[in-house]
């Protein structure tokens, strides 16, 4: 029962939970969102490039990533990245990659598949006249994308992109399977050390809930503002 709920356990663990755990979680979320967006946009451009082979490669990649569970992908990259590193650097043995680098690569590669679908929808939502006008003005393909299409696509899709980032923020908790000290990992380590599972897991749930709630509330505000501009 909740009668012997011990707030002091949480209070004592706060510095560890936030300085170690939450810093890891937020850094991973931010960098993975940025990397995933860049790589995802590249995938979307490949799919819409009109070049059959390029589009095919990107399509297969996106479908492949989207049909696998994230946990399996995390395991894949955790074991694969050292070998890829060895192959790239020509080292004699698989190189050791830190937990952070390994999970960052995983999340960039995985989220890129989801971000690319969002960006593809964003690019397709722009009227044909825009790229036509851009090329009439003499802009090259790269310039058209850089100055005309992508800024609008990005802006139109901003709420969806942020929503996907909230999902990513929640998904980073899955690095737990590699015993990494992200926010949930930190909470779970304290929980097991002190035998206080109820307190720590409830507290972790409340923190995730609060952050995600505030962020999705912000998305709704943003959506309303963007809707007025158009």
Does position 170 interact with other proteins (CB under 8 A)? The reply is yes
Segment 80 to 109, residues that bind other proteins, using CB under 8 A: 80, 83, 86-87, 93-94
188 half-sphere exposure, CB direction, 13 A CA radius: 13
**CA torsion, ordered 107, 163, 205, 13, to nearest 10 deg:** 60
Query: Could you say which of 54, 177, 178, 219 contacts other proteins (CB under 8 A)?
Result: 177
CB of 139 to other proteins, least distance (A): 35
| CA distances in angstroms from 191 to 4, 20, 117, listed in the order given | 15, 15, 39
Residue 67: CB minimum distance to other proteins, A? 4
Largest CA distance in the chain: 73
* By CB under 8 A, residue 173 contacts other proteins: yes
At 171, list the tokens.
């998904």
DSSP secondary structure string for all residues of 3-19: GG--HHHHHHHHHIIII
In the numeric block, which tokens belong to residue 163? 């929503």
Q: Concatenated DSSP letters for 117-132? A: HHHHHHHHTS-THHHH
14, 51, 216, 225: which one binds other proteins (CB under 8 A): 216
171 makes contact with other proteins (CB under 8 A) = yes
Q: Among residues 197, 222, 224, 226, which is the contact residue for other proteins, using CB under 8 A? A: 197
- Name which of 148 and 166 has its Cβ closer to other proteins: 166
Residues within the interface to other proteins (CB under 8 A): 1-2, 64, 67-72, 75-76, 79-80, 83, 86-87, 93-94, 170-171, 173-174, 176-177, 184, 188, 197-198, 201-202, 204-205, 208-209, 212-213, 216
């Amino acid at each position: 029962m909740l009668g012997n709920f011990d707030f002091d356990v949480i209070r004592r663990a706060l510095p560890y939970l936030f300085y170690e755990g939450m810093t890891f979680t937020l850094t991973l979320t931010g960098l993975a969102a940025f990397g995933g967006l860049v790589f995802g946009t590249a995938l979307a451009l490949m799919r819409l490039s009109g070049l059959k082979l390029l589009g095919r490669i990107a399509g297969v990649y996106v479908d492949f990533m989207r049909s696998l569970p994230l946990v399996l992908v995390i395991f894949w990259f955790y074991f694969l990245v050292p070998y890829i590193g060895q192959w790239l650097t020509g080292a004699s043995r698989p190189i050791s990659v830190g937990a952070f680098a390994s999970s960052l690569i995983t999340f960039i590669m995985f989220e890129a598949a989801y971000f690319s679908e969002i960006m593809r929808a964003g690019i397709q939502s722009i009227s044909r006249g825009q790229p036509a006008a851009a090329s009439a003005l003499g802009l090259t393909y790269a310039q058209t994308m850089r100055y005309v299409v992508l800024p609008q696509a990005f802006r139109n899709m901003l709420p969806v992109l942020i929503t996907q980032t909230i999902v990513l923020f929640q998904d980073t908790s899955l690095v737990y399977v590699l015993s990494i000290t992200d926010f949930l990992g930190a909470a779970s380590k304290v929980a097991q050390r002190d035998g206080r599972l109820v307190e720590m897991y409830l507290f972790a749930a409340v923190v995730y809930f609060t952050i995600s709630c505030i962020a999705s509330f912000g998305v709704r505000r943003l959506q309303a503002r963007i809707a007025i501009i158009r």
